[in-house]
């Protein structure tokens, strides 16, 4: 029983809410009147009943004083150098403080011990890999984690660490394969993550000029997860680059259908298409359909730019007014409206509009928030950089509420 308690204790992270109760249980077990010396298979004592430094170290750990905890644990191993658990706790503490060199030396010392229990050795190798990762030695961390998987191939925790490294190395194909292994072990929705990996791989192919494979990967991503906005956007980009404008519009139009809050990403692409397309009629039809089915500020703004490009000044002004009626803090629409008015010599209307502007100063329009951890990035990201979850960042509406992405 004590051995299982130690397993919790040595993590030092991820179980913050249970740390106090677990350590309290540990102390109770050790100090209880029934206590007897516990032995591992190696015959070494887990901890000496009279090891005051060890218990002081726990007390400092409970009070979040890591410096004093390190000092006491160091005294403990000087008294009894055979207590592996204390070395592991020290290594974790050093890693949490960013002293990676010392943490690595401690793990290596544990691994090289003769007659060490195999489970302890595997855990030490795993901790060594985490040390390497914390220190930024990604290739070393990856090779060390892969070494652990040889002993524990069905351990989802290790596979997730490997997956994160592949992401940081932008090795999307191996990240995809690793997520497939995780999906076989963990129940839940993995399709959206797999789709993102396929899209990222497709982007790399597109950059290298392998458009055929890129298209295949974008299509596979959509087949894997029907609501993968990024896949539709880049599939449309690929068609547009090949002057397949109708196919590009069809791909971008799907964004409007599946997750309307992100349709502004499609509109921005259409705006860039104006100067390239000879026949803008499909664009106009698309935008007007969107304005009818998805009445938001961005829709009207995109339609306003299209109408202005078609020399329909009054229509453009009408759409900017519609956008501002829906969201008065939409500064892009406010600016565009002012530019149109000035170009038409309508200074009085500009002054009137300025009065309205004064009521809405310092209110940013495009704001995003993660529905899981609350992080607010400065721009839209498909993966939250704080909690590392995919597809959790959405727009914050004009009331300040986050609009979550549908699963």
List residues bridging with 396 in a β-sheet: 402
pLDDT of residue 200: 98
Give the percent of the chain with pLDDT over 70.
Answer: 74
Are residues 167 and 176 in contact, defined by beta-carbon separation less than 8 angstroms? no
> In whole angstroms, how far apart are CA 181 and each of 134, 163, 178, 259, 294?
24, 10, 5, 29, 39
Are residues 57 and 69 in contact, defined by beta-carbon separation less than 8 angstroms? yes
The answer, yes or no, to whether residue 315 has pLDDT greater than 50, is yes
pLDDT of residue 30: 41
* Alpha carbon distance 4, 180 (integer Å): 30
Residue 346 — φ and ψ, nearest 5°?
-100, 65
Are residues 199 and 222 in contact, defined by beta-carbon separation less than 8 angstroms? no
Q: Any idea which of 137-151, 280-294, 296-310 has the lowest mean pLDDT? A: 280-294
* Alpha carbon distance 303, 146 (integer Å): 52
**DSSP secondary structure string for all residues of 78-121:** HH-TT-HHHHHHHHHHHHHTT-HHHHHHHHHHHHT-TT--HHHH
Mean pLDDT along residues 266-294: 77
Q: Any idea which of 158-172, 178-192, 286-300 has the lowest mean pLDDT? A: 286-300
Are residues 236 and 211 in contact, defined by beta-carbon separation less than 8 angstroms? no
Q: Any idea which of 53-62, 194-203, 281-290 has the lowest mean pLDDT? A: 53-62
The answer, yes or no, to whether residue 19 has pLDDT greater than 50, is no
The answer, yes or no, to whether residue 347 has pLDDT greater than 90, is no
- Which is more confidently placed, 71 or 242? 242
pTM of the model: 0.70
Mean pLDDT along residues 77-103: 74
pLDDT of residue 283: 76
The answer, yes or no, to whether residue 385 has pLDDT greater than 80, is yes
Among 14-18, 188-192, 257-261, which range has the highest average pLDDT?
188-192
Selection from 13, 214, 16 nearest residue 127 by Cα: 13
The answer, yes or no, to whether residue 399 has pLDDT greater than 60, is no
- Give the pLDDT band (50/70/90) at residue 52: confident
All structural domains of the chain with their residue ranges: 2-151, 367-407
**Residue 8 corresponds to which tokens in the numbers above?**
């919790």
The answer, yes or no, to whether residue 87 has pLDDT greater than 80, is no
pLDDT of residue 40: 38
Are residues 175 and 163 in contact, defined by beta-carbon separation less than 8 angstroms? yes
Q: Any idea which of 84-93, 245-254, 374-383 has the lowest mean pLDDT? A: 84-93
Q: Any idea which of 3-7, 113-117, 125-129, 333-337 has the lowest mean pLDDT? A: 3-7
Mean pLDDT along residues 68-96: 70
DSSP tag of 266: H
pLDDT of residue 359: 57
Give the percent of the chain with pLDDT over 90.
Answer: 29
Dihedral (Cα; 141, 142, 147, 152), 10-degree rounding: 100
> In whole angstroms, how far apart are CA 229 and each of 109, 167, 176, 201, 271?
49, 19, 18, 15, 18
**Fold topology of 2-151:** 1.25.40
Q: Over the stretch 124-156, which tens digit does the pLDDT of each residue have?
A: 899 899 999 989 999 999 999 999 999 888 899
Average pLDDT, the chain: 78
pLDDT of residue 38: 33
pLDDT of residue 32: 36
* Alpha carbon distance 9, 55 (integer Å): 13
The answer, yes or no, to whether residue 58 has pLDDT greater than 60, is yes
Q: Any idea which of 54-58, 148-152, 304-308 has the lowest mean pLDDT? A: 54-58
Alpha-carbon Rg for the chain in angstroms: 29
Q: Over the stretch 179-220, which tens digit does the pLDDT of each residue have?
A: 999 999 998 899 999 999 999 999 999 999 999 999 999 999
Q: Any idea which of 5-19, 144-158, 302-316 has the lowest mean pLDDT? A: 5-19
pLDDT of residue 29: 37
The answer, yes or no, to whether residue 109 has pLDDT greater than 50, is yes
pLDDT of residue 166: 97
pLDDT of residue 51: 62
């Amino acid at each position: 029983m004590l051995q299982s308690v130690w397993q919790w204790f040595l993590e030092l992270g991820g179980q913050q809410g249970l740390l106090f109760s677990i350590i309290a249980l540990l102390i109770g077990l050790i100090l209880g009147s029934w206590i007897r010396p516990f032995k591992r298979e190696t015959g070494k004592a887990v901890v000496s009943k009279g090891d005051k430094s060890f218990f002081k170290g726990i007390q400092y750990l409970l009070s979040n004083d890591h410096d004093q905890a390190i000092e006491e644990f160091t005294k403990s191993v000087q008294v009894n150098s055979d207590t592996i658990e204390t070395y592991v706790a020290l290594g974790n503490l050093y890693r949490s403080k960013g002293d990676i060199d010392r943490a690595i030396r401690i793990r290596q010392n544990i691994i090289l011990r003769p007659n060490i229990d195999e489970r302890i050795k595997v855990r030490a190798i795993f901790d060594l890999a985490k040390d390497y990762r914390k220190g930024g030695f990604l290739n070393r961390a990856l090779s060390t984690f892969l070494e652990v998987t040889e002993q524990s191939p069905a351990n989802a925790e290790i596979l997730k660490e490997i997956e994160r490294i592949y992401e940081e190395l932008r090795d999307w194909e191996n990240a995809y394969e690793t997520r497939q292994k995780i999906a076989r072990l963990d129940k839940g929705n993995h399709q959206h993550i797999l789709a993102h990996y396929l899209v990222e791989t497709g982007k790399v192919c597109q950059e290298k000029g392998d458009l055929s494979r890129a298209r295949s990967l974008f299509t596979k991503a959509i087949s894997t997860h029907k609501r993968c906005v990024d896949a539709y956007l880049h599939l449309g980009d690929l068609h547009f680059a090949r002057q397949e404008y109708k196919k590009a519009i069809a791909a971008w139009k799907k964004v409007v259908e599946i997750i309307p809050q992100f349709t502004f990403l499609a509109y921005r692409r259409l705006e860039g298409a104006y100067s390239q397309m000879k026949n803008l009629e499909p664009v106009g039809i698309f935008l007007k359909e969107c304005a009818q089915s998805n009445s938001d500020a961005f829709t009207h703004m995109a339609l306003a730019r299209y109408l202005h490009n078609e020399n329909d000044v009054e229509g453009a002004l009408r759409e900017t007014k519609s956008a501002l009626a829906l969201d008065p803090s939409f500064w892009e629409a406010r600016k565009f409206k002012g530019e149109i008015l000035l170009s038409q010599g309508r200074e009085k209307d500009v002054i009137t509009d300025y009065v309205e502007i004064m009521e809405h100063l310092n209110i940013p329009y495009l704001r995003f928030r993660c529905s899981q951890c609350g992080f607010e990035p400065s721009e839209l990201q498909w993966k939250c950089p704080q909690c590392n979850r995919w597809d959790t960042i959405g727009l914050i509406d004009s009331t300040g509420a986050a609009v979550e992405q549908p699963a």
